[in-house]
């Protein structure tokens, strides 16, 4: 269940792509010059979002699932990194670039071939760190650049023991 304090940030998506609002939004994007491949990669409905979450292997009884299913906006007080949209998570999941940050002989992708399926990067690494979600444990990690292997091997302690707890902090009104 999602926190009540973040309900005001909720953007409930239409049920499916045949909804009039979705069709109108896509038409506006076409008129603005967006290419159809770009538009088709976007998630405009709960139906498409559920498929994306299933593709990622997200348990439908987690706060992560509910949060991304309902498409939330960011809080007024930012807490570190801005969370990725589900589209950004999907793009990252396909390429798993965070596993390719080391010299060829030490690529994490080669050393830990299943890490990219377990850990999902949920924010940019631009601030020399990123938030990661562990699908297996529901934990959230705050990982500094170069500490990805410590997260994978269990040497790095999770920052939050659940995505729900992470959201509680992320959307809290405390600085």
What does the angle CA 86 – CA 55 – CA 140 come to, to the nearest 5 degrees?
55
Average pLDDT over residues 49-69: 92
List 140's β-bridge partners, or say none: 133, 160
* Ranges 28-32, 38-42, 81-85, 113-117: which has the least confidence: 38-42
* Ranges 61-65, 67-71, 84-88, 105-109: which has the least confidence: 105-109
Confidence (pLDDT) at 171:
84
Confidence (pLDDT) at 162:
95
Question: CA–CA separation, 41 vs 51, rounded Å?
Answer: 12
Structure tokens, 65: 């699932």
Confidence (pLDDT) at 54:
94
Instruction: Yes or no: say if 65 and 152 are a contact pair by the CB < 8 Å rule.
Output: no
Task: Report the chain's mean pLDDT, rounded to a whole number.
Answer: 82
* Ranges 103-107, 130-134, 140-144: which has the least confidence: 103-107
- Domain boundaries of the chain, sorted by first residue: 4-170
Confidence (pLDDT) at 104:
55
Across the beta sheet with 140-144, what order do the strands follow?
119-121, 129-134, 140-144
Label residue 78 by pLDDT band (50, 70, 90): low
Share of the chain above pLDDT 70, in %: 85
| CB atoms inside a 10 Å sphere around CB 33 | 7
Question: CA–CA separation, 72 vs 166, rounded Å?
Answer: 14
Question: CA–CA separation, 98 vs 145, rounded Å?
Answer: 9
Structure tokens, 92: 């990252």
42 by Cβ neighbours in 10 Å (0-12 / 13-18 / 19+) ranks as middle
User: In which element (H, E) is residue 117 found?
Assistant: helix 115-118
Confidence (pLDDT) at 11:
72
């Amino acid at each position: 269940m999602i926190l009540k304090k973040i309900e005001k940030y909720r953007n409930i998506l239409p049920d499916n792509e045949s909804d009039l609002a979705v069709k109108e939004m896509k038409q506006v994007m076409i008129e603005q010059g967006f290419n159809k491949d770009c538009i088709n990669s976007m998630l405009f409905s709960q139906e498409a979002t559920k498929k994306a979450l299933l593709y990622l292997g997200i348990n439908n009884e987690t706060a992560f699932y509910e949060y991304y299913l309902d498409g939330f906006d960011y809080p007024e007080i930012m807490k570190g990194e801005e969370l990725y949209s589900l589209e950004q998570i999907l793009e990252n999941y396909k390429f798993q670039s965070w596993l390719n940050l080391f010299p060829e002989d030490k690529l994490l992708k080669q050393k830990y071939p299943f890490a990219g399926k377990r850990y999902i990067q949920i924010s940019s690494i631009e601030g020399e760190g990123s938030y990661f979600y562990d699908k297996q444990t529901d934990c959230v990690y705050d990982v500094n650049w170069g500490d990805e292997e410590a997260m994978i091997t269990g040497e790095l302690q999770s920052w939050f023991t659940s995505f729900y707890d992470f959201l509680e902090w992320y959307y809290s009104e405390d600085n």
